[in-house]
Structure 1
Amino acid sequence: MRTRSGGRAAVAAALAALLALGAGGCDVSVEEPEAPPGSSGNVGEQLSELTVAEAGSMKGYSRNRFPHWRDTGKNCDVRDSVLQRDGKDIRLSGCNVVGGRWESVYDGRTFTDPSDVDIDHMVPLANAWRSGADEWDDAKRGDFANDLTRPQLFAVSASSNRSKGDQDPSQWKPPNRAYWCTYAEHWVEVKHHWKLTVTSAEKAAITDMLGGCTWASKR
C-alpha cells in the first residue's frame, strides 16, 4: 500500500511537470493513486465502545449544515481528491479529474467517466445527524463531511450510493458481499472516531457482518 505522503508527492510531481511544459489546462496522466485510508485498531473493541441509543430526530437537518466539498486546490475540491485517490490512470485538467478508471467497491461496476461516479459518505450525513452530529457546530460537521483521514469518503457507482441513501447496515448492505467485512469495519472506525451512537439494530447487523471475518478480532 502506498503511503499518503507518497501519493501526494506523485501528484505534485505530475502537476509540476505539466506547469513546466506550459500545458495549462491540458490533460495529464499521473501514476496510480494511493489506496483509501483503512481502519486502525481492534474493530471488536471499537464496536464495544460505541454508545447504543435510539436514532435521534431529523428536526433541523439540512445537508447545508455539513459544508462540503472543501477546496483542495485552485478550482478543485475534496471530490477531486477522492476521485484521484480511488481511481486508476487518472487524467487531470489543472487539478480537476477529467478521466480515469474507477471500480465501485459496493457493486463491482467499473466507470471511466467521473460524472458517473458519486462520492459516498461511509456514515451518511443524515445518519450522523441522528447519531449525535445535531449537537455539533457547522465547522465540526464540515470536518466530518470532508474527512479524508478516516475511511469515510469513497468513489462508488451513483446507483449504489443513491440506493444506500442515509441507511445504516441494518437497513442496507453493499450488493458486493465480499466487501461486507471491510464495510462493517470502516463504519465502526468512523463512528468510533467521531463518537457517534449506534442503534441496537445497527450494532447487531455490524456484529453479524463481522462474524465471518477471521481477521476482525486481530485488527
Structure 2
Amino acid sequence: MSRIQGRRFLGPVIVLVVAAMFGTLLVVSAGWLTKPSERLPVTAAAAGAPTSIVPDPPAPDPAPVIVRAVAPAPRPGTAQAVLATLTVRDRAALTGFKRSLFGPEDLDTDHNGCDTRNDVLRRDLTGFTLAGRSNGCAVVRGTLRDPYTGRTIGYHRGRGTAAAVAIDEAVTLRDAWRSGAQQWSQAKRAQFANDSLNLLAVDGPTAAKRAAAASWVVPNTAFRCAFAARQIAVKARYGLTVTAGERATLAHVLATCPNQPLPVAQPFRLGGGPSESTGPSPAVLQARLVARAKARAKAVARAKARAARAKARAAARAKARAARAARAAAKARARAAAARLRAANKAKWAAQAKARKAIALAKAKARAAAKAKRQAEAQARAVLRAKAKAAALAKAREAAAKAAQTPSGTTSPTTLPVLPS
C-alpha cells in the first residue's frame, strides 16, 4: 500500500474515532448538567476514590392523591329538594283514559264568575284588552311572550285567530292518568284540569306538536328550568309519581340551575286591562254564564247517569255471572251425585253378580257332590250284585258237586239258580 492510499484510509478512521469520543463527552456532560445533585461528594473525589459516571436511580414519586368533589345537598324549598321527595314508580297503562273524566273544559273552579281559559289569558298576556260588560273576564286581544319558543305572539279573540294561543298543561292529563289520577274522584280530576299552577298560555302549534310527540323538550332553553320546576310542583301538590327516567331527566335539567324555586299558584283576579264598549250587556253575559252552568250541570248529570247505567249493567252482568256460576255448580253437584249413585249401583250390581256366581258355584258343587254320591252308590250296588252273583255261583257249584256224589250213581239234572241281573 502506498503512502497516499494509507493516508486516505487513516483519515476517515481518525474522524470516526474523534466523533465517537466527542459524542461520549456530550452524553456525560448532559447527564451531569441535568442532575447536578447526583454528582459524587467532593470528599470522595478528592480522596481519589473510584467514581462512576452513571448517576444513582431517582427516588420514586409519591402516590397521587385523588380528591373527589362532593355535590352539595339541595337547598330546602328548591325544585331539586322537592324532586327528591317524589315517589318513583313505573307508569300505569293508559287503559280507560278519556278527556271527559277530567270534567268539562274551562270550568269556573275558583267561582270568580270567569272561565279558566280567560283567567289564564289575563295572567299570562300583556297589554290585553277586555270585552266590555264582561265584568273584567273575557280577553279580546293581547300579546303573549311564548315560554315554549321565546317568540312574541299576538292574540285576537275569534274563530280563526284564537287557536294561535293555547292553554297547555305542564303535567298533561294523560301523564296524570298514568301517574295516579286513575284513583281520583271526578271532582279532584276536574280541579287538576283547571288548576292555575298546571296551566300556561303558550303557542298553539307548539302545544299541538307536544301533544302528538312521544317525547318532547321545551325548545326555549331559557325556560327549561322553570318548566321542570312547574312539573315538579304540580306532581308534588297532587301526589303524582315519576318514573326513573323522568326523574333523571328533571335532575339533569336542574343541574344547571340548582337554586330554581318552585312556582306558587296565585288566585286569578278579574280586570287588569282596558275594556271595549262593544259586546253583550252584563245581563246577557250573566244569562250565558247561567246557561253554560246549566249545560255543564246537565253534562255532569248525563255523565253520572251514564256511570249509573254502566254500574247497573256491571251489577247485572256480575249477577248473571253469579247465577251462571251457581247453575254450573248445581249441575256439577248433580253430576257428582249421579256419578256417586252410578258407582254405588255398579258396586251393588257387582256384589249381586258375585253372590249369584257364588250361589251358582255352590249349586254346581252340590250337583257334583250328589252326582259323585250317586256314582258311589251305583258302584256299591254293582259290587253287591257282583258279590251276590259270585255267592250264588259258588252255591250252585257246591250243589252240583254234592249231587254228583249221590250213592245211586245217577246224575240228576242240575237245576242252576237264577242269578240276579
TM-score band, normalised by shorter chain? 0.7 to 0.9
TM-score, normalised relative to structure 1: 0.74
Corresponding position of 1:54: 90
Name the residue aligned to 2:243. Answer: 199
Secondary structure of 1:50's counterpart equals coil
Q: CA deviation at 1:217?
A: 8.1
Instruction: Tell me if the contact between 1:99 and 1:113 (Cα under 8 Å) persists in the aligned partners.
Output: yes
**How many equivalent residue pairs?**
175
Q: Please, which of 177, 185, 190 is the counterpart of residue 137 of structure 1?
A: 185
Match of 1:161 among 185, 207, 212: 207
Letter in 1 for 2:177: W
The answer to whether the Cα contact below 8 Å between 2:130 and 2:138 also exists between their aligned partners in 1 is: yes
Identity of aligned residues (%): 36
What is the SS of the residue equivalent to 1:113?
strand
CA-CA distance at 1:109 after TM superposition: 2.2
Q: Alignment partner for residue 119 of structure 2, among 81, 84, 99?
A: 81
Larger-gyration structure (1/2): 2
Letter in 2 for 1:98: V
How much does 1:41 deviate?
2.4
Q: Tell me the CA shift for residue 137 of structure 1.
A: 1.1
Per mean C-alpha deviation after superposition, the further-off stretch among 197-206 and 112-121 is: 112-121
The 1:181–1:89 alpha-carbon spacing in structure 2 relative to 1, beyond 3 Å, is: same
Output one character per residue of 1:70-95: Cα deviation in whole Å (capped at 9) or x when no partner: 12555x41000000110011111122
Which amino acid in structure 1 is aligned with residue 219 of structure 2?
A: P
Decide which structure has greater helix share: 2
**Cα-to-partner distance string for 1:127-159 (whole Å, 9 max, x where unaligned):** 1000000110111001101112x3x11100011
Q: Deviations over 1:2-43 (max 9, x none)?
A: xxxxxxxxxxxxxxxxxxxxxxxxxxxxxxxxxxxxxx9221
Q: Which residue of 2 aligns with 1:123?
A: 171
> Residue 169 of structure 2 contacts residue 200 of structure 2 at CA under 8 Å; is this kept in 1?
yes
Note the C-alpha offset of 1:166: 7.7
Task: Report the residue type matching 2:144 in the other structure.
Answer: W
Shift of 1:216: 3.2
Give the SS at the match of 1:165.
helix
Q: Runs in 1 of length 4+ with deviation above 4 angstroms? A: none
Query: Does residue 103 of the first structure (1) align with residue 141 of the second (2)?
Result: no
**Partner Cα distance (1:142, 1:58) in 2:** 18
1:43 maps to a residue whose letter is A
Distance 1:57 1:199, change over 3 A: same
Would you say the 8 A contact 1:124–1:167 is kept in 2? no
In the superposition, relative to structure 1, how do residues 197 and 218 fare at CA in structure 2: closer, same or farther (>3 Å)?
Answer: closer
Q: Normalised by the size of structure 2, how large is the TM-score?
A: 0.39
Give the superposed CA RMSD: 2.2
The answer to whether structure 1 residue 70 and structure 2 residue 107 are counterparts is: yes
5+ residue gaps in structure 2? 1-75, 157-161, 264-421
Deviation of the 1:52 alpha carbon: 0.8
Bigger share in strand: 1
